[in-house]
Amino acid sequence: MGVQELGVVRRNITRADTAAVQKLSRFGVATIHEAMGRLGLMKPEIRPIYTGAQLCGTAVTVLLQPGDNWMMHVAAEQIQPGDVVVAACTADSTDGFFGDLLATSFRARGCKGLVIDGGVRDIKDLTAMDFPVFSRAIHAKGTIKATLGSVNVPVVCAGAMVNPGDVVIGDLDGVVVVPAALAQQVADAAEAREASEVAKRAKLAAGVLGLDMYNMREPLAKAGLRYID
């Protein structure tokens, strides 16, 4: 685990393999979280700002200071097509660090969306642009540009460790982070998991019980489950 540092912009980062990212984009957050062995989730407080918002891309990380969005502008220059900006903050803050102007700038650089452990504003415009944002809060509160944070350092965003270049996937179920080095392996596991669910879904729809399909009756009895009439 690297060390967080302030006042630093790392320009060269190793992004996850494009094909792996592409493949991951086909799966939902819950499936990928399972495929990763149930790790990598952000806290449930992070929600999409509009129904239908979803994103998948490689992380450009930002470490913000509370009430200060200066580093968002610094981050814009580091965005490459296919990136998602992941913004953490050195202290809890619901201020509106991001709005439609920054979204316009980010999109012009090829940005796929934003995940921020803080607040955003201009929700109507962001929705109209269909610029996906996952945030802790919606707040019109403006921010200043006075103190250095960092760009492309390891960050903790909503309880999840994010390294620059990691794959970040967000949908209605929340946001999950896949370390760059594991992207292909997790994508394959997600594919396998999804395939295996098709048959299960059909059985369950036909009325087969999970109790039988998963052979749970014996372990339940062993654990002491009693049926009372």
Footprint on residues 146-175 left by a second copy (CB under 8 A): 146-148, 154, 156, 159-161, 163, 171-174
Q: Which listed range, 6-14, 18-26, 184-192, lies at the site for a second copy (CB under 8 A)? A: 6-14
Among 19, 26, 101, 130, binds a second copy (CB under 8 A): 101
CB 214, min distance to a second copy, A? 7
Beta-bridge partner residues of 175: 170
Structure-token pair, residue 33: 């979280």
Q: Considering the rule CB under 8 A, would residue 179 count as an interface residue with a second copy?
A: yes
Q: Tokens 């992941």, residue?
A: 86
Q: Considering the rule CB under 8 A, would residue 70 count as an interface residue with a second copy?
A: yes
| Residues 150 and 8 sit within 8 Å (Cβ to Cβ) | yes
Structure-token pair, residue 112: 């796929």
Q: Considering the rule CB under 8 A, would residue 92 count as an interface residue with a second copy?
A: yes
Q: Considering the rule CB under 8 A, would residue 220 count as an interface residue with a second copy?
A: yes
Interface mask (CB under 8 A) for a second copy, residues 103-122, using x and -? -xx-xxx---------x-xx
Q: Considering the rule CB under 8 A, would residue 221 count as an interface residue with a second copy?
A: no
> Total number of residues binding a second copy (CB under 8 A)?
102
Strands (E) in 52-147, as ranges, are: 55-64, 83-89, 113-120, 133-138
Using only C-alpha atoms, what is the Rg of the chain?
Answer: 20
**Distance, CA of 215 to CA of 104 (rounded, Å):** 53
| Residues 55 and 46 sit within 8 Å (Cβ to Cβ) | no
User: What does the angle CA 173 – CA 103 – CA 14 come to, to the nearest 5 degrees?
Assistant: 70
Report the site for a second copy in 9-28 (rule: CB under 8 A): 9-12, 28
CB 181, min distance to a second copy, A? 7
Q: Considering the rule CB under 8 A, would residue 142 count as an interface residue with a second copy?
A: yes
